[in-house]
C-alpha cells in the first residue's frame, strides 16, 4: 500500500543508514506500541542490522518488538525504560546485547529467540541486562515440542507450543 511504502521510505532514509538504526531514532516516541521491523528491504537485500544506542529508549507504550533477521548487535540502552515492553523476538544471529539495553523493561516477561538454547548461550549479554533471565526465554521450533519452552509464528505473532 502507499502508506506502507511511505513508512518504509521514512524508516529507510531518515532513521537508518542501511543496516543501522541511528542512536535515539525513536527515543521517547510516546505513542509507539508495536514494532515489527522488515525482514528485507524492497530490493530483497537482507541487512546486517545494529540497533543503535537508545534507539527505542523511553518508548513508554511500546509493548512488543520483532527485530529483523540480520540483527547482530543491540547497543547500550536500546530499549531502556520501555516500561510496557512485554515481549521481544530476537532473531538468530544476534551476537551481542550491550549494557543496559533492556533495563527498565519491567513488563518484559517473554523473550522469543529464533534458535535453540545452545545458540542463545553464545550471545554475549552484558550482565546489566537482568531482565533477560533464562526463565523468560522461549526457543523457536517449526514442529510442536512439549519438553521445555518453545514457540512458533502464527502470522507474525509468536505463539507458544
Encode pLDDT of 26-35 as tens digits.
788 888 888 8
Q: Is the pTM of this model over 0.75?
A: yes
pLDDT at 38: 57
**How far apart are the C-alpha atoms of 20 and 95, rounded to whole Å?**
15
Encode pLDDT of 97-155 as tens digits.
999 999 999 999 999 999 998 999 999 999 999 999 999 999 999 999 988 899 999 98
Can you tell me the mean pLDDT for 46-73? 88
Average pLDDT, the chain: 83
Amino acid at each position: 500500500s502507499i502508506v506502507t511504502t511511505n513508512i518504509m521510505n521514512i524508516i529507510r532514509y531518515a532513521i537508518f543508514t542501511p543496516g543501522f538504526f541511528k542512536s535515539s531514532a525513536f527515543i521517547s516516541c510516546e505513542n509507539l506500541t508495536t514494532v515489527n521491523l522488515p525482514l528485507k528491504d524492497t530490493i530483497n537485500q537482507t541487512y546486517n542490522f545494529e540497533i543503535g544506542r537508545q534507539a527505542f529508549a523511553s518508548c513508554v507504550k511500546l509493548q512488543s518488538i520483532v527485530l529483523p533477521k540480520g540483527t547482530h548487535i543491540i547497543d547500550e540502552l536500546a530499549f531502556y525504560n520501555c516500561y510496557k515492553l512485554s515481549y521481544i523476538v530476537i532473531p538468530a544471529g544476534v551476537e551481542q546485547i550491550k549494557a543496559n539495553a533492556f533495563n527498565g523493561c519491567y513488563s518484559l516477561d517473554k523473550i522469543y529467540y529464533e534458535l535453540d538454547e545452545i545458540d542463545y548461550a553464545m550471545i554475549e549479554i552484558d550482565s546489566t541486562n537482568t531482565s533477560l533471565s533464562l526463565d523468560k526465554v522461549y526457543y523457536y521450533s517449526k514442529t510442536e515440542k512439549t519438553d521445555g519452552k518453545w514457540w512458533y509464528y502464527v502470522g507474525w505473532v509468536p505463539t507458544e507450543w
